[in-house]
Structure formats: structure tokens, C-alpha cells
Structure 1
Amino acid sequence: MPPLLISFPEIDPVLIQLGPLAIRWYALAYIAGIMIGWWYAKRIIRWPRAWAGAPPPLTSLDFDDFILWVTFGIILGGRIGYVFFYDPAHFAANPMAAFKLWEGGMSFHGGYLGCVAAVVGFSLWRNLPMLTLGDITCAVGPIGLFFGRIANFINGELWGRPTDVAWAMIFPHAGPLPRHPSQLYEAALEGALLFVVLFLCVRAGALRRPGLILGLFTMGYAVTRSFCELFREPDAQIGYLWGGMTRGMQLSFAMFAIGVVFTLIALLRKPPLNAAAKS
């Protein structure tokens, strides 16, 4: 076994324990991602350059009202996605376990579908441009992904495959072998890198083509997640699938195809004369 050059920082997953109430890093990651994303979304809406100086097609108050919808979409979609995508047999035999969120088990792909449902429902209810609301939501999405992957790392979960790279770590619950800190790879690529790419696209005027940021985010996440899956240990109850693929790769391939469709539609469609025109 090669010498371990980086020690895993064993941080207590519980930040504060107040009697029966435990405040966990994972919950704080969700809160931080939603709150900072909320702030950034309002900045985008009020950024004249993003809309070519025209009035934005929705207001900051609209997004204030939407934040509760998308929060429920993330949580419910993430949990339902995990139940159906990753361990349906277990939850079919133990249906009440699906409600035990504190035991872990969330799916990004399910959370993505939950966000889509929130965008569609809220847009129809408030008569707002659906694709533009989806664009803004996706522009801030990498913020939550970054914090979520950092929380995965703190929890010592979703670890990587065994490796002999110099920065390998031994995770407390993953056996004696050094492994890739794949959570940090995902935080860097799905979170930080994707955020920068989408920020530059927004700055370049991508919001003037409704659906473009949505498509770019969907493709970008699919590519970065699939790459990181090469270093991440697959879920024990699923293992490797056909051709060495993982469930995360399968779901990301489907996601990439959806992103291509949205991107092509946005690019091929004639941009509205007024940046405030509804999609």
C-alpha cells in the first residue's frame, strides 16, 4: 500500500447537538445552497446586462415566492428519485423507510425532476415565462451542488474507488483501502466549474435565448457527473451495470439527451425582439 499523504479530516457530521435536536452539516449544506442561490438569482434578475437593458420577464418578488416551491421540489424529488432509481426493492419491502430522510438517500436526478415540476407548476400558476424561470434556476443550481458535495465529503459518504494516487484517503466506513476523494472532484466540476461556465454564458447574453441556460446546465451536469462516476464507487446495492456503467451514468446519459434538445431549440429559435418577451 502506498504511503497516505493526505489524512481524511474526520469532522463530526453533527455540528451542534441540542438535546434531541441535531443540526447536521448536510442540512446546513441544503440551507446554504438554497439561500445563496436565492440571493444570486435575484441579482441575475436585477442585472441589466443579462436582459440587454430591457425589463426582465419576471421580478425578484416572483422568485421570492418561487423559492418555497423549488425547495419542496428538491427535497421531494431527491427522495422519490432515490427510492425509485437506487433502491426500489428495499423500499418496496419497507415503505415507511422512504420517510426517514435523516437516514440519508437523495438523488440529484430526482431532485432535478422535482425542480422541473416546481418550475412548470409555478410558471403556470403565475403566468410567467417557463423557460426563463428554468434558466435562472439552473444558473444557480451549481451553488447547491457544490455545498452538497462538500457535505458528502464531511459525512465520509459516496466515496471513490480504490486508488494509489498521492491524494488518496482512507474513509472511516469504506474499509482499509485508500480511495479517490470523489466528492471533492464532484464539488469542483459539478459545482465550481459549472457555475463559472454558466456565469460566463449569462454574462454573454444567454438569457436572451430562453431555454439555453437550462440546456447547457443539463448537458454540463451530465458530462461532469459521468466523468466523476469513473472515480466514484458505485452504490453497493446496484454495483456496475452493463459495460461497466453505473446508475449515475445511465441517468446522466438520458439527462444529456434532454439538454441537447433544449439547447438546439434555444439556438435555432429566432430570439425575441424584446428580451422581456415570454417564452
Structure 2
Amino acid sequence: MNSTQTSQNITPQLRQWIVEQAQGGHSAEAVLQSMIASGWNEDVAIEAMETTLRGHLEKKAVEDGLPAAVPVPDAKLDESPLYLDLGDRRVAVLQVMHSPRVVVFGGLLSDEECDALIELARPKLARSLTVQAKTGGEEINADRTSNGMFFQRGENPLVTKIEERIARLLDWPMENGEGLQILHYTPGTEYKPHYDYFDPNEPGTPTILRRGGQRVGTVVMYLAEPEKGGGTVFPDIRLEVAPKRGNAVFFSYERAHPSTKTLHGGAPVLAGEKWIATKWLRERRFE
């Protein structure tokens, strides 16, 4: 790259040079410092690197047979806020991971909301089912030993209030969410590690996707704390989120592939009971 370069336009030639440096094994920090030393404004250099490398990696991923990436929900965390004001509730930002995107929120639900969801769900509990990817239907799965039930989207004022809050939190349309699922775990029950997206290679997936496209994000809200165990585990990144009442963990996955590192599960409850509410978010309106 010419050290006398004065233009701050992000040209195709600059993008090609950035890709060549990455392919040559140079670190992102080394490439950035080289650009700054050559007269590039730091903000422009960072933008050029981020957009170029993101596009390059996406192109390579698709060439390697991965599904194309899609837009995903996300909270507004660019300025590293400690709290997010959602209008009806102030929510704490407790932990943020960028790749994969995992965010732990504090106080997303009040104690009263947690209790009310449990009491509304309790009479309707049944053995939890999983989606049968080969047919598009549902089935009992030995990997999932909880009891659960679904609320229809907007089924009652409490559910509507929580769904609207999640929509504001993650800047994602409320109608793109599946119904709120309530799950109850007792000692010895668990949900073994799994992915929430639908496997594109399974024959039943096209049927599932007609209802709203792929799942692109998950919110797990903790309604009641077990005495021991029951955390949400992410084996690929060696992360465990404690099931603290009122808190929630959010994670997104821009492509239906294990490369997202969103393998996760509910660790066995060792003592006490765990109640959670799960919200799955789709690409489009969920019908």
C-alpha cells in the first residue's frame, strides 16, 4: 500500500489489500497499525477492516458449503451500557460475549412476573416435546426430561407485556417470535446440549420453515432458582450461566450451522426446582 495515500475512500484496491494481509497470516492489529502508519484515519481503517473481512469470511463460508448468514436480533450494546431502559423496566447488562453472541441480562423479569407465569403455566404442564426434524412434527425426546407448556403469542396481558419488552430489548418484531414456552425441571431432569436452529439437511425442515423461517435467536428467562445445578451450559465456549431468578441469557445464531458455537443445554437440576421461560425468535413473522 502506498505510504503517501491521502484519500480516505474505502476503495476496492484497499479491500483487496486487507484480504491479502489476512490471507498472509497478519494479525488484525498489525494490519490496522500499518494502515494508520500509512496515513489512514483510525475510524476509517477500522470500518474498512470490519466490513471487508466480514464480507470475505461470509463469501468463504458460503463457498465452503455453509448456509448464508441472515440478520439476527441484538441489543444496543455498542457503547457498553450498564443498563438498558426498556420503558417499563430497567435491565442490567451483566455479561457480553461477541462471538458467539451471548448476553446475560439482569432483572429482565420482576419477581411478581416470574410467580405469575409459573402459576398460569402450572395447570397445563405436560412432558416436553422437541421438534421432529425428519417430519416437521413433534416427539418425546430422551434428551429433554422437563415438563412444559406454550402460551400463544399475546395470549394474555402478562405474556404480551413480556413479549413487547423482549422486542424492544432486541430490536426484533414481536410477531417474529414463537409463543412463550414455560418449562419445569425437578431433580435429575435436564436438557442435553443441542442447537436451536433447524438443520437444513433434515427432510422436515422446509415444512418447519414455512411458519416463519429459521430460528435466529433464543432468550432463556429464569423464573425460579434450583438449590443446586440447572445452569445453562455452552460446551463449545465452556460457559455456564447461573439460573438466577429474573435474569435471562440471550444468544443468536446467524447461520444454521455448528460454526455458530451455540451448542447449549440445561444442566441437570441437583436439588430444588428450576422454572424457565423460553422465547425463540424467527427470521420472519411466525404463523
* TM-score grouping bracket, smaller chain normalisation: under 0.3
Higher strand share: 2
Q: Give the TM-score taking structure 2 as reference length.
A: 0.26
Q: Who wins on radius of gyration, i.e. which is larger? A: 2
Q: Give the TM-score taking structure 1 as reference length.
A: 0.26
Higher helix share: 1
